[in-house]
Amino acid sequence: MSTKETPPLKPTLRILRLVDVCEVTGISRALIYRLQAEGRFPRSVKITEFAVGWIEHEVQAWLAERIEISRSRPARAGARKPARRARPKRGR
């Protein structure tokens, strides 16, 4: 009998294209690029000269972090603020 240990499995690398990242995160293309530029979202990887993608496990880790932050905050007392009504325009 061999007591040889099997090495830990590496996560399968999968590249998500922009449409997939938008679908998985629920945020817009513009916000993804803005957060990325601010260093608050995983950086894209250049796949070809004209194509980029995001590493799936990095996007999933970002989502898990957002969930943790959201759930660790104490709930605010009271209901949501009512939406602001637009002021009527004055005639000139």
Phi, psi of 46 (to 5 degrees): -75, 120
Phi, psi of 47 (to 5 degrees): -90, -50
Of residues 83 and 24, more confidence is placed in: 24
Read off the tokens for 47.
């796949």
pLDDT confidence tier of residue 1, bands split at 50, 70 and 90: low
For 4-35, write each residue's pLDDT tens digit.
777 776 768 999 999 999 999 999 999 999 99
pLDDT confidence tier of residue 55, bands split at 50, 70 and 90: very high
- Cα→Cα distances 90→12, 79, 84, 87, Å: 60, 32, 18, 9
Return the percentage of the chain with pLDDT > 70, whole number: 84
Residue 61 near residue 68 (C-beta atoms within 8 A)? no
Adjacent-strand bridge partners of 45: 53
Domain spans of the chain? 15-71
pLDDT of residue 23: 97
Read off the tokens for 32.
């993804």
